[in-house]
Structures are given as structure tokens and as C-alpha cells.
Amino acid sequence: MRQSWLLAALLGLPLAAAGQPPPAAQVQLNGMLGARSALLMIDGEARMLEVGATVKGVRLIGLEDGRAIVEVGGRRQTLLLGASPARVTGQNGPPPPRQILLPMGTGGHYTTIGMINGHVTSFLVDTGATSVSISQIEAEKLGLRYLYGKRVVTQTANGVVPAYMIDLASIRIGEVEVRDVEAIVIPAQMSHVLLGNSFLNRFRLRRENDVMTLELRY
């Protein structure tokens, strides 16, 4: 404690800040320019960021479908276009939430963006799917070595087709990350990665006022 006090004095820092975690940044997504840049309100100041850029400690990770993934101090959070400002804290802040909130989208579906093994993709909740399902095209974009997985067959609209069972190192949505998730890679055209029960079974699900809440069981 005395060393922190001396360091703060030498650097001319306020004593109350010595040894304290950085304050939470208030961030709001106000606009997007395709998938390249976004207009963010950071602590009340409008800033235009390109994907990968950092301003005032806020890094823009990815953009898709009216959502932005930002990172502050190693923690990530998903922002919705036009939603209320969110508080994003660094690693020294309070524990991350254990819930994922998904508003109902077009056609009554629940979609979101997140990450598989650190790569951004889009998800659609599918409670009828046994496993997380990924098209071969998307698997290749994500760098998944699915050809080394277990070869199986599965039923699709086009009949029985070959597929590959693999284990994903991680799936992350907002600040919630789940590791070691079983997935199936299939030769089908899909607009989203389907979040099946190999992921959903880790959560308690409830729906209220067109919002689905996923709460981690453990």
C-alpha cells in the first residue's frame, strides 16, 4: 500500500486512483458503415472507429447485423444499434455477467454475433438441433480443421449427407464464454451458425417480452 502511495505521488496521480481498477466506460452504438466502422458514443463523446481500432481504451472487435463487439481491458461485450448505453469494465472490474440477452428478431428468431475460437461469426438459436451446426463454407472461414473430425452422416433437406463431428475450443457471446463445445460441420448453405443443444444445455433458458435469457448453469 505504501509503495502504491509513493508511486502515485511520484507520478502526480490522485491518491484515490492508486491501486484502483479502471472505471467502466459507458459505450453506445449509434451507427454503422457496413462491416468496416462504427459510430460509438464513448462516455458521451462521439467517435468513429474502424474494426480493430482502439479509442479511449475501447477496442472495436467486429460488426454485423446491427451489433458491435467491443473490448475494454480484455473483456468483450455486444452492443445493439440504438440500445441504451452499456457499461464496459476492464479485467479488474466486477465479475462478468453469466447471462446472455437475445431480443427477438425478424421471423421470431433469436440471432446474435459472437466468436468461435476467437473468430467472429453470426449465430441463430435452434433448440431443435442436437449440436452446434456449422456449414462447411463457414467452417473454412473460421479456420476449423473439420476434416480431422469424426466422419458421420446426417439427414438434411437434400437427404443423407456426410458430415464431421468436431470439438470447438470456445464459443463466446458478449462476455459469456463456453469451452469445449461439440459441433457438426455439414455441406449445407446456412446464413448462421446454429446454436444447438450442445451449447444451450449449458444454460437455463427463459423467454419474456420477446427477449430470450440464457443463464449459465455452472
pLDDT digits (tens, 9 = 90+) for 176-203: 889 999 999 999 889 999 999 999 999 9
Grid cell listed for 111: 440471432
Rounded-to-integer distance, Cα 70 and Cα 32, Å: 13
Q: Following DSSP, what letter does each residue of 70-120 receive, concatenated?
A: EEETTEEEEEETTPPPEEE--TTSSPPPSEEEEEB-GGG-BEEEEEETTEE
Looking at residue 6, its pLDDT comes to 37
Length of the chain: 218
**Structural domain spans, the chain:** 23-93, 101-216
Q: Which CATH number fits domain 101-216: 1.20.120.530, 2.40.70.10, 1.20.1050.10, 2.30.40.10?
A: 2.40.70.10
Indicate whether 52 pLDDT > 50: yes
pLDDT class of 105 with cuts at 50, 70, 90: confident
Q: Between 175 and 133, whose confidence is greater?
A: 133
Indicate whether 36 pLDDT > 70: yes
Looking at residue 21, its pLDDT comes to 47
In this prediction the pTM is: 0.57
- Tens of pLDDT, residue by residue over 62-97, are 887 778 888 887 788 888 776 656 666 555 555 555
Looking at residue 67, its pLDDT comes to 81
Looking at residue 182, its pLDDT comes to 97
CA torsion through residues 209, 81, 25, 215, sign: positive
Helix (H, G, I), strand (E, B) or coil at 202: coil
Indicate whether 12 pLDDT > 50: no
Grid cell listed for 68: 458491435
- Tens of pLDDT, residue by residue over 110-135, are 999 999 998 999 999 999 999 999 99
Helix (H, G, I), strand (E, B) or coil at 199: helix
Rounded-to-integer distance, Cα 171 and Cα 200, Å: 11
